[in-house]
Each structure stands twice: as C-alpha cells, then as structure tokens.
C-alpha cells in the first residue's frame, strides 16, 4: 500500500539535470552526530535554494503555506532533524523538502555519485515505525529484483538505496527512492478530503 500510494500522482520520471555545481546550495555539509539539534532549524525563507531548482521539479516542492509536521514530534522516537545542505550516507545532498507524513519526512536530494535527483525518506525512530519501514524495504526490494521485462514493474516506485542514521532522537531508517509526482496529501486536499477518485485508484 505504501508503494502504491507513492505512485498515485503518476509515473513521469525525471531526466538528468544540470551539473552539480549549478544546482547545489552554497551551504557546507554538516556531519550527522549525536550533537545535532533536537528540532528542525530551517523554515520559511531559510529553505530557499541558493540556486534555482529545475522547472520540472518546481511543482513537487513544498511551500511555506502548506501544513507542516508538528515540531513536538522532533523528540525521542520521532523525526530526524534534517537540514538543507546535509549530506546523507556520504552521497545524498539535501536540496529541498518534498513533504511529510505521520511516518516520515521526505526530501529532494542530489545523488553526487550518480548525478541525479532522488527522494530521501527519513523515518521516525520509534520501534514500530522502524518495523514498518523494514517491511516496506523488503517489498520494494522484491519489486526491484523482479523480472525487468515485466511491464507491471514500472507501476511501483523503485527503491534505490536504504541505510540507517543515528541522531539525538534515535536510529532512523532511510529510504532513497526515485522522484515521482506530487505527494498523496496534495491529491487528498485537492479532492476536498473525500479520497481519490476511483479512476485514479484504478490507474495505480
């Protein structure tokens, strides 16, 4: 269900953007350690990029007007305090926030190894969230390792990488996924909280 929700907005994949130097913020890359702040330190205009994001990605980015996660959830067992400019796993450079949910926050990142944009999902650290994330990873790996010629394989978001990070709020599972369409919450709001239309659900 988690994988299916990720593709509700469509399957349009993104091409390779401009070179890294022309897209990345000028901020330095802080290291992840137990000394990190317990709460989010960036909001509003602080989230703006030092350089423009490609037009094809603009519609996916969150805005200051949208509802945000509760700061009180940045606590033990809760969210990891991701900041713009962070470098995850020595590879994924945080560019902008894409969205959030009760389970995780999701960030647009630049993969400095493969030179492409990816979506980084950072899960809350409580045990039951970790268990759910592990189950999701197992399912997505089954899809990733399936027959590449199967046309149905393309209807499920592709898992690129997974790892764990330690922070002041605990150990967090991270999933790196391909960047797809809008987050599900935007579609729910657009439908006046009445759920997705049946034709849209059937198209997943």
Instruction: Report the C-alpha gap between 113 and 61 in whole angstroms.
Output: 23
121 is in an annotated binding site: yes
The closest alpha carbon to 113, from 84, 140, 93, belongs to: 93
CA pseudo-torsion sign 93, 100, 136, 178 = negative
The closest alpha carbon to 87, from 138, 179, 163, 13, belongs to: 163
Cβ of 202: how many Cβ atoms within 10 Å?
Answer: 8
Summary count for the chain: helices (H), strands (E) = 5, 6
Can you point out the beta strands (E) in 44-177? 87-88, 92-100, 104-111, 116-123, 159-167, 170-177
* Token digits of residue 186: 């935007």
Q: How far is CA 66 from CA 103, 108, 189, in A?
A: 18, 17, 11
Query: Tokens 């949910």 — which residue?
Result: 101
Binding site: which residues? 121
Binding site for ATP: which residues? 121
């Amino acid at each position: 269900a988690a994988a299916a929700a990720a593709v509700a907005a469509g399957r349009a994949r993104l091409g390779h953007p401009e070179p890294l130097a022309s897209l990345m913020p000028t901020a330095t890359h802080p290291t992840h350690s137990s000394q990190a702040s317990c709460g989010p330190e960036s909001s509003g205009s602080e989230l703006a990029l030092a350089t423009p994001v490609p037009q094809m990605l603009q519609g996916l980015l969150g805005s200051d007007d949208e509802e945000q996660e509760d700061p009180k959830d940045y606590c033990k067992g809760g969210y990891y305090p991701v900041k713009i400019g962070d470098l995850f796993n020595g590879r994924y450079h945080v560019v902008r926030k894409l969205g959030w949910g009760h389970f995780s926050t999701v960030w647009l990142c630049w993969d400095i190894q493969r030179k492409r944009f990816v979506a980084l999902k950072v899960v809350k650290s409580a045990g039951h969230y970790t268990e759910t994330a592990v189950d999701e990873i197992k399912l997505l790996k089954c899809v990733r390792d399936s027959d590449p010629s199967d046309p149905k394989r393309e209807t499920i978001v592709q898992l690129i990488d997974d790892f764990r990070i330690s922070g002041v709020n605990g150990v967090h599972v991270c999933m790196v996924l391909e960047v797809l369409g809008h987050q599900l919450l935007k579609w729910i709001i657009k439908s006046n909280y009445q759920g997705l239309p049946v034709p849209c659900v059937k198209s997943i």
